[in-house]
Structures are given as C-alpha cells and as structure tokens.
Amino acid sequence: MASTYAATNAEGYELHMGRWSPALAEPFLDFADLGPAGRVLDVGCGTGSLTRAIAARVNGDVLGVDVSAPFIGHARASNRNARISYEVHDASKLSFPHASFDAALSILVLNFVPEYRSAASEMVRVTRTGGRVAAACWHVEGGFTMMRIFWDTAVALDPSASSRRGSYYSAPLTRHGELASPFRELGTRDVEETDLTIWMRFQNFDDYWRPFTFGQGTQGAYLATLDQKKGDRLREALRDAYCAGREDGPRAFASIANAAKGRR
C-alpha cells in the first residue's frame, strides 16, 4: 500500500487540506533554503501547491510526483508553467536515476506512507551530492487544533472511532524529533529541525464542515462510514465545538508542522 490517505477527489482535497498547503509552503521553503537549485523534485505533490511555490523561487524545472492519479490529473489541468511537470509515482519506489535532482522536498506526505523510511531513502538517493532534502509533517499530537476538535468530538459520540483517532495520532513522523530521524539514519549531512506555524482560517462552521463531506483524508474516510443519522449527529456536535458558546462566524486555528532538512 503506497498511502494511508484517502485521495480520490482532487476538488474535495483542495477544500479539505490543499488550501492550506500554499500557506505552509512559504515558511517551509524559507527553512529549506534551496538557493540556486536547478531541478527540484516535489514528492507527494498532491494537487501541486508546493510544486508551484518551488517554481516561483528557482530557475530550473520542477517535477511533482504523487501516487494519486486524480490528484496528478488535477495538477496537470491547472498548470500553466512550462517548467512544471507532474507524474504518477509511488514515493517509496521512485524510478529516477541516482542524483537526478538538485533537491527533493516533501510536505504533509511522509507520515501517510507506510514505507516512509524507503520514501526518505528515495528522496536522498535521487538528490545529487550536496543537494537539499527537506520535509514537513503536521505535529498532530498537540499542534493541529482543527483535527483535534474533529477526532475528540467523534470519539465522544462513537467510542469505536477511538482506534481511528489512535492511528491518526500515533502516526510516525508527527512528533518532535521524529521527522529528522530517517534522514540522519541515511547519513544526510547537517540535519536541522524546526517548527512552522500557520493559521487555518474559516469563514464559518460550514466552511469547516463541508470539506469532510468529500470523503478525503482520514476524517473524510471516517465520515463516509457513518449513516445519515450518525453523520448529522456528528455535524451538530462539531458545530457546538466550533462555535464554543459564540455565534457562528470566522474562526482561526493554529496548526504546527514539524520540518527537517539536510544535505545529501
């Protein structure tokens, strides 16, 4: 299995998580410090947010790869930059020759790859000597408020959801210090870590709730298992948690990502 993330609907993903990727991409690229990198690989590119952000900073070509054909199709259809291309690839089994890229980057992906050590190894393998490798994953344990609201509310209503919540919060690479480990084990030089914080801003409760209804990600996949009555019950309980005693309206939730970088 190449990924534990439900990734079948690109439009739904854009609402669920893709819209936050551009906000995270900028501080991530500041941290990655690509410099004059020529050819760059975006591993697990999704619908292409990081790929586009990379292309805006480097002069060379940027290739985005993802295991989801629907996501790659969406990225290709919306691409207007001749230096950007997209291909379907399994992150843990890249087909590119050794040292094919000046840098290999990845955000919000590796914790969903069961063979994440292989994926990290592939990122290092395809990067030239001295090139940059860098990745970021959400710090889900205590730094991802919008998802904590969802899962704690779901488990309060449905104790059987506890195993799903447990799998989500025990995922590898999502706690401090974990993301750098596979790169250090691979002999990557000058490995550094940091935390990146963005604000997830919602117009109202519907803006928070609707993305889950597309069945994408772990939360959408869980919601898709519920019948109408249970789904409605979860929606209303989440509305209460979202509003938290105030009128419905805009909310902003802090979200923290762990990031690591090194040199091949």
- The answer to whether position 161 is within a domain reads yes
Tens-place pLDDT, residues 73-117: 999 999 999 999 999 999 999 999 999 999 999 999 999 999 999
Q: How far apart are CA 171 and CA 221, in angstroms?
A: 16
From 99, 67, 65, 69, select the one nearest 84 (Cα to Cα): 65
For residue 6, pLDDT beyond 70: no
Q: What is the mean pLDDT of residues 121-130?
A: 97
Instruction: Assign 2 a pLDDT band (cuts: 50, 70, 90).
Output: low
User: Average pLDDT of 197-204?
Assistant: 96
pLDDT at residue 9, as a whole number = 77
Please state, rounded to an integer, the average pLDDT across all residues of the chain: 93
Buried/exposed code over 226-258 (b: 16+ C-beta within 10 A; e: otherwise): beeeeeeebbeebbebbeeeeeeeebebebbbb
According to the model, what pLDDT value does residue 182 have?
Answer: 96
State whether residue 92 is helix, strand or coil: coil
Confirm whether 126 is domain-assigned.
yes
Nearest to 53 by CA among 74, 31, 77: 31
Q: What tokens were used for 15?
A: 């609402």
Domain that holds residue 235: 10-263
Answer yes or no: is 103 within a domain.
yes
pLDDT tens string 17-41: 878 999 999 999 999 999 877 899 9
Residue 242 lies in a domain: yes
- Grade residue 1 by pLDDT with cuts at 50, 70 and 90: very low
Closest CA to 213 of 199, 228, 198: 228
Q: Give yes or no for residue 228 having a pLDDT over 70.
A: yes
> 120 pLDDT exceeds 50?
yes
At 259 the pLDDT is: 98
Stretch 181-206: mean pLDDT: 96
Q: Give the pLDDT of residue 7.
A: 65
Is 4 a domain residue?
no
In a domain, 2, yes or no: no
Q: What is the pLDDT of residue 35?
A: 84
Rounded CA-CA distance 182/125 in Å is: 13
Q: Is residue 47 part of a domain?
A: yes
Phi, psi of 118 (to 5 degrees): -65, -40
pTM above 0.75, yes or no: yes
The total number of structural domains in the chain stands at 1
Residue spans of beta strands (DSSP E) within 162-230: 189-202
Q: Give the CATH number for residue 72.
A: 3.40.50.150
Q: Is residue 5 part of a domain?
A: no
| Long-range contacts at 162-166 (CB < 8 A, ≥ 24 apart) | 164/218, 164/222
What confidence tens digit (pLDDT) does each residue in 44-85 have? 999 999 999 999 999 999 999 999 999 999 999 999 999 999
